[in-house]
Amino acid sequence: MGGYILRRLLSAVPVLLGITVIVFLIMALIPGDPATAILGSYATPENVARINRELGLDAPLWRQYLIWLGNMLQGDFGQSFALNRPVLDEVLERFGATLILAGTAFVLCALLGIVAGTVSAANQYGWADKTITFAVLLGISIPSFFLGMMMILLFAVRLRWFPVSGMWPIYGARDAAALISHLAMPALALAVVATGVVARLSRSALLEVLRQDFIRTARAKGVHERSVIWRHALRAAMVSILPVLGIQAGFVLSGAVYIEIVFQWPGIGRMLVDAILRRDILLVQGGVVFVAVCYVFFNIVVDVAQSLLDPRIRT
Amino acid sequence: MSITRLTRRSLLAAGTALTMALGAPAFAQTPPNVLVVGQIAEPKALDPAAVTAVNDFRILMNVYDGLVRYKDGTLEVEPALATDWEISEDGTEYTFSLRDGVKFHDGSPFDAEAVKFNFDRMLDESHPYYDTGPFPLSFFFSAIEEVEVVDPMTVKFVLNEPYAPFLSNLAYPTGLIVSPAAVEEHGSEFGRNPSGTGPFKFAEWRPNEAVVVEANPDYWDGAPQLEAVVFRPITDASTRTAEMLAGGIDLMVEVPPVALSQFQGDSYRLYEQAGPHLWFLILNAKEGPFADKLVRQAANYAINKEAIVNEVLEGTAEVAAGPTPPAFAWAYNEDLEPYPYDPEKARELIAEAGADGAELTFYVTEGGSGMLDPVAMGTAIQADLQAVGFDVTIETYEWNTFLGEVNPGLEGKADMAEMAWMTNDPDTLPFLALRSEAFPDQGGFNSGYYSNPEVDKLLEQARRATDQDERARLYKEMQEIVHEDAPWVFVANWKQNAVTNDRVENFDLQPSFFLLLDDVAKN
């Protein structure tokens, strides 16, 4: 097991190096530079050259890359010039906010999805199955940002049950209740599509398992039906549901970008969008590399979890 | 059965959470005497010398003062931290008497040394705090040769040539005076620990949440009515609108035109103010059909500016008549009429110039500061020009890319391009974008290569004149010539807008587009 994990970790190194090269090149090659973004209408060639010099962007590309990579390996991600603070501070703070949002949405989609899928499969073609299938189809079809805006209009503007945007109240205590009231709408909006996907796949995974011999055996020896479904069948089906959850974790994380903009959640997706528009090179690069590291790490964790459930994968 | 139990438990938890949220008081009221402002973005820094965005200026103008400022409701300068000034005969020496007894928020005194520190920090590369930059707009003060401390309360600026816009540049946020003691204490972190002399003191900056400033009870111009102002960055316009409707903010700037109808009722107040802004089309006067003045005039006749302003922009702008926005009341030529919408006349001029069916390449941007609704406006303009017989191809670029294409000049690439400028002095735009010596290869913004020796002469003279009436006469003459020569299509002057709820009093927008809150009250 230890050897397997080590192999997976080692294979991630070239992937991450490749990502640093790609993100660096993309930021270097897209038209428009930070100086133009800072100066706007006042971007004369003379002013642009002055700002580039002061930001250290006049060195050759390969040198800029090596300096950046070298600093990063020592834990120095540089300074965001648009926000005037260390990139790492900003990224960590923003990533924390995204984790809270995406994490909540992930837990919601996993729980609701699996339960809905299981109930659906257990009552195949019954009314519960039909209702759930319909709801799931609806959920998958609504773009999350649109759903988010509708939720704001109904629950925040009209009913005033929840605040419109942000993560914490501007005044007042920063306690769990405050966080939950700010988190409820964005997390739900973010979870809806993923819940649909998880529900559909859990349903089909479970249906497949329910046709197998050991289920018939269990039923034949008189195991309670509830136990058959929730204990025997679901457990076997989890092997094919888990990788879907891994993919949905990625989906929820990337889908958070839209939700973070609509609900002004101070997460890393919104940070990256703002940073790209402002050509905040170091912040974009640092943010992307950080997210990439997390993705690679999540993938390894999912693979390891899967290999624990199904030892055949480990070879 | 473990999963069932888990589900039940989690359902219970979710239910509890929901009940707690529902049971909480409605999220509506902002506290009395605290004004919550919906901003369009997170500020970069609260160091006036280091920032360029209007969004940041909105906070800075309430924390700092300059030597001079704009008179309420105008773009004319009046005393602020300087009580009075003298300009030498040749226009190269400005001597300011400073206000006595003013202290920075950190307790250090405001004096001539502090003024010198501020300008040396921006302009002198050997200054010990030059490295707290970069200072992107320091070229506003590039005419300064030296700042001399005459006595503790008198400071003299020596310019390397006469430069009439100097006073209004001092009123611009880049000229706001910061506390030298605070810069010395915080160094490059000064932008997050600001200290000025303004009506509000910096209190707290919670990244991506809010900047909070508190009343300065010792303000030299009278303590403000409000106890505090909270600036919240809400980048998405629809979300900002929703926050205003839900009562999460008290004042919202840059209301999207489509959202204006939401705020018609009694519980809101809408404000509008035309500013020193011009939205125009740069025409390539060097080559192609627009090298002919008749065709440039034809374009001005062909485009239905009324329709753009009223339909596309929903009345958030006014039709522009010439190169100088009417907000510069003292320098604006009242006799100038906008080119009327007259497609017949346009067709005649085109026929006279033999430019029938000419193919035009039109650069359009997707967005950008002051660009309003550039894609929709570009499409309307394209349709109007097609209607009089041009064949117009639009090329659309993202803002930074667009500037990279347009600023180096349109030659060999395009016949026309959208552009917008917001300036603080009638000198700036024509001087940087209409003179023969402002061609892009000479570091200017004359991307359409317009050249008229008469205009060059008038602009040079106006820059050297120190008398405002004399300057006004020169600018008015310049506007007449430029109107006739039509190097641009003059399209629109943007009106800035804002909404407050009915608890906010004494608020007004300024033609400078600055947000001044020292007299505002809220119950």
Cis peptide leading into B25, omega within 30 of 0?
no
B498 Cβ contact list (under 8 Å, min separation 6):
B251, B252, B253, B254, B255, B270, B271, B507, B509
**pLDDT at res. B3:** 40
Q: Tell if the CB–CB gap between B27 and A181 is shorter than 8 Å.
A: yes
Tokens of A44: 């004369």
Euclidean distance between CA atoms B315 and B307, whole angstroms: 9
CA distance A11 to chain B (A): 36
Residues of chain A contacting residue B192, judged by C-beta atoms under 8 Å apart: 84-85
Tokens of B100: 């006595």
Q: Which of A64-78, B20-34, B102-116 has the highest mean pLDDT?
A: B102-116
Task: Decide if pLDDT at B14 tops 70.
Answer: no
- Range of weakest confidence among B154-163, B383-392, B395-404: B395-404
CB B45, CB B193: distance < 8 Å: no
Nearest beta carbon to residue A180 from set B17, B28, B419? B17
Q: Which of A47-51, A90-94, B211-215 has the highest mean pLDDT?
A: B211-215
Tokens of B82: 């300087």
CA distance A54 to chain B (A): 6
CA distance A231 to chain B (A): 7
Euclidean distance between CA atoms B87 and B82, whole angstroms: 13
Q: What is the pLDDT of residues A140-172, one digit of tens each?
A: 898 888 999 999 999 999 888 999 999 988 877
Helix (H, G, I), strand (E, B) or coil at B13: helix
Nearest beta carbon to residue B134 from set A40, A54, A171? A54
- Closest alpha carbon to A147 in A180, A111, A186, A120: A186
The number of beta carbons lying within 10 Å of the beta carbon of residue A214 is 12
Residue B437 half-sphere exposure toward CB, CA atoms < 13 A: 8
- C-alpha dist (Å) from residue B100 to A247, B82, B112, B171: 67, 9, 11, 19
Chain B residue with Cα closest to A277: B400
CA distance A14 to chain B (A): 32
Helix (H, G, I), strand (E, B) or coil at B477: helix
Q: What is the pLDDT of residues B49-99, one digit of tens each?
A: 988 888 899 999 999 999 999 999 999 899 999 999 999 988 899 999 999
Tokens of B220: 């030299």
In our burial notation (b when 16+ CB lie closer than 10 A, e otherwise), range B288-313 reads bbbbbbbbbbbbbbbbbbeebbeebb
DSSP structural state of residue B128: T
**pLDDT at res. A48:** 80
Q: Tell if the CB–CB gap between B403 and A160 is shorter than 8 Å.
A: no
Helix (H, G, I), strand (E, B) or coil at B175: helix
Tokens of B311: 């339909």
Chain B residue with Cα closest to A81: B44
Q: Which of A64-78, A270-284, B439-453, B475-489 has the highest mean pLDDT?
A: B475-489
Question: ∠ at Cα A304 (A303, A307), nearest 5°?
Answer: 90
Residues of chain A contacting residue B397, judged by C-beta atoms under 8 Å apart: 31
pLDDT confidence band for B10 (50 / 70 / 90): low
Euclidean distance between CA atoms B75 and B274, whole angstroms: 12
Interface test mutation site (partner A, options B135, B208, B419, max chain A beta carbons within 10 A): B208
- Range of weakest confidence among A102-106, A307-311, B264-268: A307-311
Task: Decide if pLDDT at B246 tops 60.
Answer: yes
Q: Tell if the CB–CB gap between A32 and B401 is shorter than 8 Å.
A: yes
Q: What is the pLDDT of residues A222-241, one digit of tens each?
A: 888 888 888 888 888 888 88
Task: Decide if pLDDT at A281 tops 70.
Answer: yes
DSSP structural state of residue B398: -
CA distance B350 to chain A (A): 32
Q: Tell if the CB–CB gap between B236 and A261 is shorter than 8 Å.
A: yes
Nearest beta carbon to residue B421 from set A41, A82, A167? A41
Q: Tell if the CB–CB gap between A165 and B50 is shorter than 8 Å.
A: no
pLDDT confidence band for B19 (50 / 70 / 90): very low
Percent of chain B at pLDDT > 70 equals: 95
Q: Tell if the CB–CB gap between B242 and A261 is shorter than 8 Å.
A: no
Q: pTM, whole model, 2 decimals?
A: 0.84
Nearest beta carbon to residue B136 from set A33, A39, A279? A39
CB B159, CB B166: distance < 8 Å: yes
Q: How many CB pairs under 8 A join A and B?
A: 168
B161 Cβ contact list (under 8 Å, min separation 6):
B92, B143, B464
A9 Cβ contact list (under 8 Å, min separation 6):
A300
Euclidean distance between CA atoms B170 and A234, whole angstroms: 73
Q: Tell if the CB–CB gap between B44 and A85 is shorter than 8 Å.
A: no
B260 Cβ contact list (under 8 Å, min separation 6):
B270, B314, B316, B497
Task: Decide if pLDDT at B232 tops 70.
Answer: yes
Tokens of B270: 């809408």
The number of beta carbons lying within 10 Å of the beta carbon of residue A152 is 27
Euclidean distance between CA atoms B200 and A176, whole angstroms: 32
Q: Tell if the CB–CB gap between A84 and B236 is shorter than 8 Å.
A: no
Whole-number mean pLDDT of chain B?
91
Q: Tell if the CB–CB gap between B137 and A42 is shorter than 8 Å.
A: yes
Task: Decide if pLDDT at B12 tops 70.
Answer: no
Q: What is the pLDDT of residues B204-220, one digit of tens each?
A: 998 888 999 999 999 99
- Would the CA dihedral through B422, B423, B429, B432 be positive or negative? negative
Side chain identity at residue B433, one-letter code: A
Residues of chain B contacting residue A184, judged by C-beta atoms under 8 Å apart: 17-18, 21
Question: ∠ at Cα A200 (A197, A204), nearest 5°?
Answer: 140
Cα dihedral value A166, B56, B135, A65, nearest 10: 20
CA distance B44 to chain A (A): 5
- Closest alpha carbon to A104 in A26, A166, A183, A39: A183
CB B450, CB B485: distance < 8 Å: yes
Percent of chain A at pLDDT > 70 equals: 98
**pLDDT at res. B499:** 95
Euclidean distance between CA atoms A168 and A188, whole angstroms: 17
- Which is more confident, B336 or A58? B336
**pLDDT at res. A304:** 83
CA distance B150 to chain A (A): 32
Tokens of B498: 């804002």
- Closest alpha carbon to B427 in B183, B172, B221: B172
**pLDDT at res. B6:** 44
CB A179, CB A168: distance < 8 Å: yes
Q: What is the pLDDT of residues B151-195, one digit of tens each?
A: 999 999 999 999 999 999 999 999 999 999 999 999 988 999 999
pLDDT confidence band for B2 (50 / 70 / 90): very low
Interface test mutation site (partner B, options A114, A164, A226, max chain B beta carbons within 10 A): A164
Per residue, the 3-state secondary structure of chain A, as one string, reads CHHHHHHHHHHHHHHHHHHHHHHHHHHHHCCCCHHHHHHHHHCCHHHHHHHHHHHCCCCCHHHHHHHHHHHHHCCCCCEECCCCEEHHHHHHHHHHHHHHHHHHHHHHHHHHHHHHHHHHHHCCCCHHHHHHHHHHHHHHHCCHHHHHHHHHHHHHHHCCCCCCCCCCCCCCCCCHHHHHHHHHHHHHHHHHHHHHHHHHHHHHHHHHHHCCHHHHHHHHCCCCHHHHHHHHHHHHHHHHHHHHHHHHHHHHHHHHHHHHHHCCCCCHHHHHHHHHHCCCHHHHHHHHHHHHHHHHHHHHHHHHHHHHHCHHHHC
CA distance A3 to chain B (A): 32
Task: Decide if pLDDT at B46 tops 70.
Answer: yes
Residues of chain A contacting residue B245, judged by C-beta atoms under 8 Å apart: 157
**pLDDT at res. A255:** 83
Side chain identity at residue B450, one-letter code: Y
The neighbouring-strand residues paired with B215 are: B200
- C-alpha dist (Å) from residue B388 to A205, A295, B302, B357, B483: 65, 56, 7, 9, 21
In our burial notation (b when 16+ CB lie closer than 10 A, e otherwise), range B484-516 reads ebbbbbbbbbbbbbbbbbebbeebebbbbbbbb
Q: Tell if the CB–CB gap between A264 and B234 is shorter than 8 Å.
A: yes
Q: Tell if the CB–CB gap between B239 and A153 is shorter than 8 Å.
A: no
- C-alpha dist (Å) from residue B259 to B1, B37, B105: 53, 17, 39
CA distance B26 to chain A (A): 5
pLDDT confidence band for A41 (50 / 70 / 90): low
pLDDT confidence band for A75 (50 / 70 / 90): confident
Task: Decide if pLDDT at A249 tops 80.
Answer: yes
Chain A residue with Cα closest to B239: A262
Q: What are phi and psi of B396, to 5 degrees?
A: -105, 135
Question: ∠ at Cα B297 (B432, B330), nearest 5°?
Answer: 45
Distance of CA A175 to the CA centre of its chain: 24
Cα dihedral value B459, B464, B470, B473, nearest 10: 0
Average pLDDT of the residues in B318-341: 94
Chain A residue with Cα closest to B237: A262
**pLDDT at res. B25:** 45
CB B132, CB B50: distance < 8 Å: yes
B428 Cβ contact list (under 8 Å, min separation 6):
B165, B421
Average pLDDT of the residues in A103-120: 93
Task: Decide if pLDDT at B1 tops 70.
Answer: no
Tell how many helices (H) and how many strands (E) occur in chain B.
Answer: 14, 20
Helix (H, G, I), strand (E, B) or coil at B172: coil
Q: Tell if the CB–CB gap between A266 and B207 is shorter than 8 Å.
A: yes
Side chain identity at residue A113, one-letter code: G
The number of beta carbons lying within 10 Å of the beta carbon of residue B100 is 12
Question: ∠ at Cα A41 (A40, A44), nearest 5°?
Answer: 95
Question: ∠ at Cα A270 (A40, B62), nearest 5°?
Answer: 55
Q: What is the pLDDT of residues B20-34, one digit of tens each?
A: 444 444 455 788 899
**pLDDT at res. B261:** 87
Residues of chain B contacting residue A32, judged by C-beta atoms under 8 Å apart: 398-401, 403-404
Nearest beta carbon to residue A43 from set B30, B36, B407? B407
Contacts made by residues A21-25, CB under 8 angstroms, sequence distance 24+: A21/A65, A23/A284, A23/A285, A23/A288, A23/A289, A23/A292, A24/A64, A24/A65, A24/A68, A24/A285
Average pLDDT of the residues in B300-317: 94
Q: What are phi and psi of B109, to 5 degrees?
A: -80, 150
